[in-house]
Chains A and B, each alone.
Chain A
């Protein structure tokens, strides 16, 4: 690879620094082998501008901290290699989420709120017996639950979502996936009707307009489209059962310990 000089145009705004409004700032760096946006931004902060705000934690694409818009597309910065990009690179914070400063946005609060809304925990009346053997589970079942639990809460799906831009109560692909994760978990005793209450609305499965940018941009390649279809089928079945008077609503004892 010929050594390139890269120009980074980065969105800057510190809400607590009244001197400057929102603006784009340019930084010029020589490209090095295997350079990523993690190494780039770290170099800019340490060598050129220590005030630059951005978020990295694991820098290995497992923690979901570092999603930004790279030339307009939501991506994990840590695993974006400059080699894949043109010589001029524009970085913006993710849209939709509250801005903290520069490239840093508050995904954490949004995901915590989502987890509250979908009651993101196993609802069970069973107590834990510390002296007993674990309950058995088929390995296929365990792998299926794990597959839906792989979301790293980076926010790319929501940042790319048209519905989310229009209504800020939309659960987003990440929220719907979370519901699906508990719905297929045999340990969770919530009924179809319970889940219907959470997602059977325009803020849930019916809000999606099917553009599927969520799936295109998910850095973990999660089956978001498939899960949406799955949820809609289950919701429809739950609705049908309810319509013919067989609505499945077992007693809810112990479903919530709040």
Chain B
């Protein structure tokens, strides 16, 4: 088995991984990034909407500041986030946006003069701000704060970041998958990696290992995530038995995944003035959220959509019920300039023209707030030398609901922070590793491969299908105790069946069935962690909504779930830690969910 040594091993080449790598490389460290795909194909590329940073350059962002961004973030999180982390984040976000501009991102800029808002109001963009970075409106924020590049924010950010990585000599080993972390229970020394070009195993030894593999969206049946977002990094972290995952039950659904296909159409549609309509063409969000309307927080909008669907107000289709997104009134010019990707998605994948027709949408799994639990500097709990960044991590900026535009901003800001921590920790340290740890990680991976090749009648895609159905039906937008118990039991059964996976294909070389079969047990463990955490959390907070416990309970649950998976156990072990509240005591989110809950009670009554 080939062995490769490096100072820093970053697993995942999306924005978070590349930003971490760039920071470490700028400190003179040798960095290798592993990626399932060529780096510019990472899921970050699909972020259409924007990057939140309080620059305050627009008429509608006058008076914005990191303080206002902080308040929006903490309220959005339903007070489930760590406020010291949110503070670091909001202060660094403007620096991060400007640095990306310095590196080449063509941010859309302020054009002075009158601007008509969707509601008819006219504001003046100031000549003094001409040519500074512009921003657009996004759900759940007080000010216009989402910086953007026309319709391809994620694309421009990722390409620019990869350019900088190239300039600094960061190596990317693409088509490579980390299958196990090398560790001795105290310290992480790298990973055992499968080359997806030829199926061979390699050992990477590193002084620092960073998990930046993004979210686990694809374990759900309907997800806006790219098909590679299967939570691989979180799975190998929890497999160590000592690294906890934080708040895995906090799963965000996006209100506007298209039907069929689950492709996300950006929050920008609603930010720019799009409406949600039901089967009768009625703009139902006015009933539920008279003030925020379609721009209430994502979890709130998603729940109203599911609730409205359950009341029989959705459109029936061969792909299940859906509602409509209406952007026709924004006009062709606006749609073709600022929402061009949305127009393309509608035409190319649905065969409809959004300038004249309605877009079929439904809430779809979108974001993993939970992940590898780290401290405020990105150091993972449980193992020295292990770090996490971006969606795969949980330093806990998002709590129980992430604001639109905060994820892109988080990748870049957290990458900066984690890269610095790595550089700081490695300064003056020597390369050391444990032979025993390397042998044991290799053995574990080789045994898994042998087991696949030698026996087993279960088929990976059958089990996978069942897992994603269980999550969609029982661990979705609305949850309740009875269904969660069923979900946990069914997932445990799948976990057991996954021990008997076999292959239908030859298993030779880069056989994709082998990749899928190696991943599935980890995916089921993540699914179980989500369902079990959701079952234990007997309150509703942010995106975690329990029908049997509809209220937030700060006395019992202003805490973060930590889940480890002891070797051989059939369930994760949960513990809890307090959430850090440093500035803003918990209160009303101001999204109207209290009123909505009261109304629901009256409907039931």
Chain A residues within CB distance 8 Å of chain B: 14-17, 19, 33-34, 36, 45-47, 49-53, 55-65, 79, 81, 83, 100-101, 104, 106-109, 111-112, 115-116, 119-122, 124, 126, 128, 130, 132-139, 141-143, 145-146, 149-150, 152-153, 185, 187-188, 256-258
Contact = CB atoms under 8 A, between A and B. Distances in A.
Given A139-B108, A185-B104, A187-B104, A108 B41 contact: yes
B131 A139 contact: yes
> 8 nearest interchain CB pairs?
A16-B509, A108-B38, A136-B131, A51-B505, A50-B513, A121-B163, A145-B106, A139-B109
Interface stretch (B148-156, B244-252, B405-413, B566-574): B148-156
A139 B149 CA distance: 10
6 contacts: A33-B318, A57-B227, A58-B45, A108-B174, A115-B163, A120-B163
B481 interface: no
A146 B174 CA distance: 26
Nearest to B337: A143
A57 B43 contact: yes
Given A145-B106, A150-B155, 15 more contacts: A14-B506, A33-B318, A46-B461, A46-B465, A51-B511, A60-B46, A64-B40, A108-B37, A108-B40, A122-B103, A124-B102, A128-B102, A134-B132, A149-B156, A153-B40
A57 B150 contact: no
A183 to B, nearest CB: 13
Nearest to A131: B95
Interface stretch (B347-355, B423-431, B543-551): B347-355
Contact of A137 (B131, B162, B516): B131
A130 B175 CA distance: 35
B228 interface: yes
A58 B504 CA distance: 27
Contact of B510 (A81, A83, A100): A100
A116 to B, nearest CB: 7
B532 interface: no
Contacts of B134: 139
Nearest to B460: A50
A104 B511 CA distance: 12
A60 B347 CA distance: 12
By size class, the interface of chain B is: 35 or more
A257 B104 contact: no
B341 interface: yes
Interface stretch (B165-173, B273-281, B374-382): B165-173
Contact of B511 (A14, A19, A145): A14
B344 interface: yes
B512 A45 contact: yes
Among A16, A17, A62, A128, the one with the most B-chain Cβ atoms within 10 Å of its Cβ is: A62
Among A33, A47, A139, the one with the most B-chain Cβ atoms within 10 Å of its Cβ is: A139
B226 A146 contact: no
B132 A116 contact: no
Among A53, A128, A149, the one with the most B-chain Cβ atoms within 10 Å of its Cβ is: A149
Contacts of A63: 37, 40-42, 45-46, 226
B440 interface: no
A130 B103 CA distance: 13
B506 A146 contact: no
Contacts of A19: 506
B32 to A, nearest CB: 14
B228 A57 contact: yes
Interface in B89-104: 95, 97-99, 101-104
B109 A257 contact: no
Among A49, A104, A124, A146, the one with the most B-chain Cβ atoms within 10 Å of its Cβ is: A146
B570 to A, nearest CB: 27
Given A51-B505, A58-B45, A16 B510 contact: yes
Given A50-B461, A58-B43, A63-B226, A130 B341 contact: no
A111 B505 contact: no
B270 to A, nearest CB: 19
A174 B413 CA distance: 30
A53 B516 contact: no
Contact of A79 (B107, B348, B459, B461): B348
B509 A257 contact: no
A139 B508 contact: no
B509 A62 contact: no
Contact of A128 (B99, B150, B156, B511): B99
B260 interface: yes
Interface string B196-226: 0111000000000000000000000000001
A81 B344 CA distance: 14
B416 to A, nearest CB: 10
